[in-house]
Structure 1
């Protein structure tokens, strides 16, 4: 399932396109943005932190690396046992090109995406205003890439898993899905050890506060995308007094149930696919014909065909139904990828050639041409989500939910159903989330939503802005997943004014 997760740059596709729209909407009462008191040389009094004092008071050793400077932050493996085992979190920093306000910590999403990898690409896209005024800091959250990474399976087994076309029509098929997940999680424990049970979002948010102190900042300034918005919202709820300027772009409201996430995303991808089909049918090279409904039916027919007869790809890997959908879904994250989707669909529909869509699916899963996986994003994605929330795997309940999702998304809804099987019989207990995400006492938190975002539907940005007591909603009217860096100068100016100048936009501002 393509639940909210970040993607590596799709270098095989076309470049980023600019979109421009603007408007207004009603606002709500505002509070003043915090004046930054962060300082790279400020010292945080370790004695204020009880059993965590040594972690908060640690000094960082920096070395030169591709992003600028790199270091390690030591945190407890288990915050309920701070005197127990510890893990090291990798961080990188690009020093401000002017006098720094402080550090801006960034998370690209996932869960499972590397913030260090993200920082290296972000430097080429960040505005000069942001680079001048902040030390830009990337980090790999616990369990991810360079930070006590979890590992579960070999590349060959991962190939098999991502290509699986499950049978949801029978109880035996659903039980087989549960058994697959149970086996997967047991392998994760065998290969990863205790860290596998401690990569939950609450622990990662507590890590953020230790990073803040270790960096010498009195407040956390933060830019989070997709799942990174859940991490940021969790931080604000846990540490409202040290929350600084927080931007949450492509919002995932942590109060949503798994069923609500499944239904919302199904509708999001259905709508994004319809927008693509409508655009495709205007062009001369579109492999689809007739009306938009006809085009959606033709895409569903391709998906059904791939399940019965997987498409050849010129390799020893055929394009299964699951891989077909992944290859389509990844291109819906940005309107700039639509031309590439047209190429992939044309090859699949007209030539029975699945090679292009397979290459897109491989981008989604971070699979390299040599058959290895460049990140552990898929393993971490499942591990974090299954620690944070689990739904009832009752077969009748799941079938009723699937029927509702199918009404919302008749073309792609089947790929967002039966998610409860993915964490059933998991090898480590659920951690869960917080009881209250209102973050009372936090300064204004800027929530950014895109009206036709497939992965994090716009309604989630609206609900997160309402969930947060000081939430302020900024809307981008357009296509694609997240808005800052990928939409228009209006969004960039509003976000930069908030981060750098502390200027809070009117709630409901639209670009």
Structure 2
């Protein structure tokens, strides 16, 4: 079992050094908890220089900057990384910053801020609203699996697995090795524990004594880990679409597949009521048609807008993103119609996200920001796998994979005939990688922090409501739960009630009563 990580933001080098540093802090009046070892304090002493955002189509009122963090927080002299930041400035009297993480893991904050930043303008009366590309994501030393992306899929025929079990394991090891080759030195340091320590450097670089934070989906995991590591630096934290802190990846994958399938069924029911639905007017037949379309594209891909094969699994990834919000359903319906009727992937690929460049190899030891057009296309998927694996201490043995693959596959396909395969592959991709930390599962609990707001949505396809309640119980008396009775992934953007209560907390510190609820907004077609 790995050694427990310190909840302090620095590593002391012995009792004598600890005493000396403590005296220095008292003598200089530095804030309690600020790292004072020179190798660490230089990161905390930096200030962000803001300027025009590079690239076309960036909002004129959005500014961009960067912050430098250690590649390895435990060895801060062994290289650095630059993290991309973006902000909308406070329009009134500035009280500080609110840091926003859009989730993932593997979601780049800066491009999402460019498209969705206006959702947060109600907070800019008092605060700068800041987002970032986490380490290994977007412009911040993006990881990639290169050609390894094509080695993830396992044989569909169980007999083939039984004939050559070692071949199955070799394919998984080869895929993990390809990710390591294409990702550079950031890959061993990409987990949430490291990202939370980056958050504290950002907090200091922004000039804030406390972290005010709004995290969505995976961003709730990041926020909870930060609170466990830096309890005395917690300001007003909101966790919306609450992630699990305890379930193994295998169980997370099943829950995710079930939630996505439920959302897809609701979409096909909705679609079948429209004469323009590309799957016809029979909802049950529409569900079967989606499965057939995925299978057909896996066997016979069509060209993507980049000229590469667009497979059924690419379609699954795109549809998965579109199902997060009912407001996207009309656009998804039109995109699927274009794919089915014209064979064009242009509209459906817009939901898949990603960068603008085929897989590229990261520059070893570079650590600087990359241009947006050089972010590998597979970066969101590669980062998601790497971060989830780094956060999970469990690793199946080779025997468990080969002997249990049939049962695992059947379980995932029962959870979802559309999303099960991809979810299972994400879990299996941890084989061949080092075991992850046990800090999240063992130590993120019973927090002694100011109250934080947890928002759970009853019809969330990605983070089931039970995770909100489980995490609230785990965090202890600090957690206040807001029950959003609506549907969709997270509540801030889709529920006026949730939006108002979150803003009231972040702006004024006003919390709703624990267990209070928001009724669903009216559905819009």
Give the TM-score range, shorter chain: 0.7 to 0.9
Alignment of 1:59-458 (within 5 A): 59-66=46-53, 68-128=62-122, 130-153=123-146, 157=147, 160=150, 167=156, 169=158, 170-171=160-161, 178-289=169-280, 292-310=283-301, 316-347=307-338, 351=341, 353-356=342-345, 359-361=347-349, 363-366=351-354, 368=356, 374=375, 376-389=379-392, 390-392=394-396, 394-395=400-401, 396-426=403-433, 428=434, 430-434=436-440, 435-458=442-465
TM-score (norm 1): 0.80
CA distance in 2, matches of 1:384, 1:314: 28
CA distance in 1, matches of 2:46, 2:457: 40
CA distance in 1, matches of 2:84, 2:310: 36
CA distance in 2, matches of 1:140, 1:315: 24
CA distance in 1, matches of 2:114, 2:274: 36
Aligned residue number for residue 5 of structure 1: none
- 1:54 is aligned to 2:41: yes
Deviations 1:227-256 (A, max 9, x none): 111111111111222111111112211222
CA RMSD of aligned residues (A): 3.1
Cα 1:295/1:189, change in 2 over 3 Å: closer
Contact 1:90 1:146 (8 Å CA) reproduced: yes
Structure 2 stretches of 5 or more lacking a match? 1-28, 54-60, 360-372, 519-525
Contact 2:241 2:455 (8 Å CA) reproduced: yes
Provide the secondary structure at the position in 1 that maps to 2:119.
coil
Contact 1:240 1:440 (8 Å CA) reproduced: yes
Q: Greater relative contact order: 1 or 2 (C-alpha under 8 angstroms, separation 6 or more)? A: 1
Cα 1:360/1:463, change in 2 over 3 Å: farther
Contact 1:240 1:439 (8 Å CA) reproduced: no
Q: How far is the alpha carbon of 1:386 from its aligned partner?
A: 2.2
Q: How far is the alpha carbon of 1:183 from its aligned partner?
A: 3.1
Comparing 52-61 with 433-442, greater Cα deviation is found at: 52-61
Q: How far is the alpha carbon of 1:370 from its aligned partner?
A: 9.2
Deviations 1:294-343 (A, max 9, x none): 33223223223333444577985454221232233232122122223333
Cα 1:315/1:430, change in 2 over 3 Å: closer
Q: How far is the alpha carbon of 1:404 from its aligned partner?
A: 2.9
Aligned residue number for residue 513 of structure 2: 506
Aligned residue number for residue 15 of structure 1: none
Q: How far is the alpha carbon of 1:84 from its aligned partner?
A: 3.0
Contact 1:330 1:361 (8 Å CA) reproduced: no
Aligned residue number for residue 473 of structure 1: 481
Provide the secondary structure at the position in 2 that maps to 1:91.
strand
Provide the secondary structure at the position in 2 that maps to 1:333.
coil
Aligned residue number for residue 36 of structure 1: none
Contact 2:43 2:68 (8 Å CA) reproduced: no
Q: How far is the alpha carbon of 1:406 from its aligned partner?
A: 3.2
CA distance in 2, matches of 1:206, 1:432: 16
Contact 2:459 2:485 (8 Å CA) reproduced: yes
CA distance in 2, matches of 1:370, 1:425: 24
Structure 1 stretches of 5 or more lacking a match? 1-42
Deviations 1:418-450 (A, max 9, x none): 543212113x55344431222521122211222
CA distance in 2, matches of 1:95, 1:324: 37
Contact 2:221 2:242 (8 Å CA) reproduced: yes
